[in-house]
Chains A and B, each alone.
Chain A
C-alpha cells in the first residue's frame, strides 16, 4: 500500500516549457487535490476533483490545468511555465470531502528559470 505517490520528485524547467505532474493513489479515494506550497504562504489549493472525470478550480488555478481520467490518478499540467510557478507541489487525496482526513504525497519541487 503505497498511499499517495508523486512523479517526478524534482524538475527544472525553462520559462515557456510545459510539463505534467502525476499523482497516483491506491486507497480508492474519491477526492483528490493539488496544492502549492510557497515560503510564508502555507498551502494553497490549485485544483481539485470530487470523482473520476470531474475537476474544479481552487484558490490559485491560473496557469494550471488538471485531468482525472482514472479514479486513481490526478494530473497537473503547466502549459507554459513561468518563474512565478517555482514552488513545491503537493497532491492529496481523501475518501470524502470536508471533514475527511487528507493524505498527502511527498511533493514535487519545481524550479522555473
Chain B
C-alpha cells in the first residue's frame, strides 16, 4: 500500500545551521508530494509541493526535490531561524483518484538561538 516515512524527531539545531528532514515514500506510479508545516497551536499549512519527478518545490528558503529513483522528497534549508521551529509533515497523494492524501508522522524541529 501507499505510505510515507519520515525521520523521527525531535531535531534540535542551532540558528543558521543547515537542515535536512528525510522523507521517503511507497506508492505506485507518480504520486504528488507535499511538505506541510504546523506551528505551535495552529493547523497545518502547505510549505511546498511537487507533482512530477525531478520537480523542485520551494518556499520561505525551504526546498525539496522529487526523486523518483530513490522515492524520496527530503526537505532542506540552508540556514534555519528560531521562527522555523515547528512540526513538519511529509505527505503524498497517490495517482489513484480514489486514494486520499497520506501524511507521515511528523518531525518536530527545535531551533536554538
Measured CB to CB, the residues of A under 8 A from B are 4, 33, 40-45, 48, 58-59, 90, 92, 97-99, 101-107
Chain B binding surface SS class: loop
CA separation between A31 and B45, bound complex, in Å? 16
Contact residues in B for A90 (Cβ distance below 8 Å): 43-44
CB of B45 within 8 A of CB of A104, answer yes
CB of A98 within 8 A of CB of B103, answer no
CB of B43 within 8 A of CB of A48, answer no
Residue interface mask B95-110, A partner, CB < 8 A = 1: 0010011011110000
Q: Assuming the A-B contacts A99-B32, A99-B49, are A105 and B43 also in contact, with contact meaning beta carbons closer than 8 angstroms in the complex?
A: yes
Contacting A102 at CB < 8 Å: which of B51, B97, B101? B101
